[in-house]
Chain A
């Protein structure tokens, strides 16, 4: 039951995340052809409410059918747990030999690690279908998403909701609470609000990276590797960006924004006295990156030839 609540709340968040982009794209189209909008009565516009409702319905159906594939669910969950354990083990091995990295001690590093894990949850839960994109595009099956009167990006992403991401969320939350206590951050309404806002910010960057990586398949054959390597890049998100020289700090901040997946947003919580401007601005930059990745993805759909049939 508890899970259900999280799912619903989460789904709303995920959808509203890209509905901003959705509305934008549609507006351009309607604007160009405002005159002929008569077929739909005014009350039947597909706004944010429509998309939230549809997503929820698809989600409920999807979960119902998932229940009938228990083995599948168990294997994925074990996979997720193993991945997280392996990640944690890597972390422990490293810190067994080297007690601090670049002035960051064990607990602060653990905080970054947990932060990045939680930030990964939305991309895993709501945008997992990105991994199937290149196969769909190659085989020509992708075309089916273009025949419905809804946003293609939404329709495509709505098809897969990945429950196993929630295991990682639990793992991340547990680790974060532990590190939080050890660092002695204290609890107040403001700091929790900050945490939530900046966690969502971090997720936006991760989603943007994976959208862009997946969308490369519209132009590049054999681009599966781009996604794989981008997904591996995110493993470095849990280290402080201060380890990079200035050129690469720029690259990993503005071009492949992995520094925003944990480092910049967590500084707001970890160093409240000296928060860099980039950390404060990260929610806006996150929205911008998300919007750009969405546009890039949609551009791919428009430019693609659909010759795969």
Chain B
């Protein structure tokens, strides 16, 4: 009995070590892209400058300080953090997988003693950790200092972090489903651009969902994309009723539901498709 237990524990530890090894390799790899890291930071700053001036001009022209319940400060915080989140969540699963498929490397990946989905997720986790520290945290601190207390500091930060992890999972599942399509076509660019535009627009990353006309807002409500950017940011900024337990749980609940739906759909789709390529011999 006890030996059995230690064995299970040992296996568990081994699994954990293996996952940590993947994360660690990812962190080191992204650090090795040293110049790339600096350039990325710099490019992000310039992007934020563009966002800032555009919305400043928009609010200046609007004549009112608050539009659709969003002040200029709110909008800026929302958009800047959405951009930071976008960088943090950015995955190149679609590109990587299509390259792996076209070069035949996918067969090797499939032979690894780990489920392909899990393997992919954990290989990316290191890059995610790095992106979070290098891109999201600095941006967040800058925004906090510049806006001077516009972001409430309290438990909402923790609730936000939890929501970000959910967002990461939703995003990963969307990526995996889209990447699976690459098994059928070599038009990676086309697939990727469709995914990117849809996610960016309908998740509220390019325009806050608050500005959407009602008809469109109603549709967006029933789509998974808002769970990626809008939900965590709403929790952080204490909007959409997230300052109460009920609202908070319903937002989390929506994210979890999407994770379940998307991962089940994704796994089924993936297994079905992989069978197809194995039959065709890659």
Direct contact between the two chains A and B in their complex (CB within 8 A):
yes
Q: Which A residues lie at the B interface, using CB under 8 A?
A: 69, 71-73, 75-80, 82-83, 86-87, 89-90, 93-94, 96-98, 100-103, 128, 131, 135, 164, 216, 219-226, 229-230, 232-233, 236, 239, 243-245, 248, 251-252, 256
Known: A89-B201, A248-B53. A83 touches B194 (CB 8 A): yes
Contact B193 A221 (CB under 8 A): no
Supposing A90-B207, A135-B99 touch, asked if A98 and B189 sit within 8 A by C-beta, the answer is no
Q: B61 near A100 (CB under 8 angstroms)?
A: yes
User: Shortest Cβ distance from B185 into chain A, in angstroms?
Assistant: 6
Given that A82-B198, A86-B197, A97-B211 are contacting pairs, would A72 and B61 also be in contact in the complex, using a CB cutoff of 8 Å?
A: no
Q: Say yes or no: is B277 at the interface (Cβ < 8 Å to chain A).
A: no
A78, A102, A248: which contacts B60 (Cβ < 8 A)? Answer: A102
Among the 9-residue stretches B1-9, B40-48, B106-114, B168-176, the one with 4 or more Cβ atoms under 8 Å from chain A is B40-48
Using a Cβ–Cβ cut-off of 8 Å, how many residues does chain B contribute to the interface with A?
47
Task: Determine the main DSSP class of B at the interface with A.
Answer: helix
Chain A positions within 8 Å of B200 at CB level: 86
B54 and A233 contact, CB distance less than 8 A: no
Whether A79 pairs with B194 at a CB distance below 8 angstroms is yes
Most buried by A among B33, B50, B54, B92: B50
Q: List the A side residues contacting B213 at CB < 8 Å.
A: 93, 96
Contact of B39 with A by CB under 8 A: yes
A101, B194: Cβ atoms closer than 8 Å: no
Asked if B58 and A219 make an inter-chain contact with CB atoms under 8 angstroms apart, the answer reads: no
Residues 21-44 of B, flagged 1 when their CB comes within 8 A of A and 0 if not, give 000000000101111110110011
Cβ contact within 8 Å between B32 and A221: yes
Nearest-neighbor residue (CB-CB) of A258 within chain B: B50
| Smallest CB separation, A256 vs chain B (Å) | 7
State the CA gap A90–B53 with chains docked (Å): 17
Tell me which residues across on chain A come within 8 A of B201, comparing CB atoms: 86, 89-90
CA distance A128 to B37 in the complex (A): 25
22 A–B contacts, CB within 8 A, in A order:
A72-B187, A79-B187, A79-B191, A82-B197, A83-B197, A87-B197, A93-B213, A94-B207, A94-B211, A98-B58, A98-B62, A101-B57, A103-B61, A216-B39, A221-B36, A222-B30, A226-B36, A226-B40, A239-B54, A245-B53, A252-B50, A256-B46
B-chain residues with CB within 8 Å of residue A100 when the two chains form the complex: 61
A83-B189 Cα distance, complex, nearest whole Å: 12
**Closest residue of chain A to B32, judged by CB?**
A221
Which residues 180-204 in B have Cβ within 8 Å of A in the complex?
184-187, 189-191, 193-194, 197-198, 200-201
Instruction: Indicate whether A93 sits within 8 Å of B216 (C-beta atoms), given known contacts A82-B198, A220-B33, A239-B54.
Output: yes
Interface pair A83/B193, CB less than 8 Å apart: yes
Nearest Cβ distance between residue B25 and chain A, in whole angstroms?
Answer: 15
Closest chain B CB from A244 CB (angstroms):
5
CB-defined contacts of A251 to chain B, threshold 8 Å: 46
Contact A86 B198 (CB under 8 A): yes
CB atoms of B61 and A98 under 8 A apart: yes
B53 to chain A, nearest CB (A): 5
Say yes or no for B206: interface residue by CB 8 A criterion: yes
With known contacts A79-B187, A131-B189, A229–B99 Cβ distance under 8 A: no
- Given pairs A78-B190, A79-B190, A216-B39, 7 additional interface contacts (CB within 8 A): A71-B187, A82-B198, A89-B216, A223-B39, A225-B39, A225-B90, A229-B46
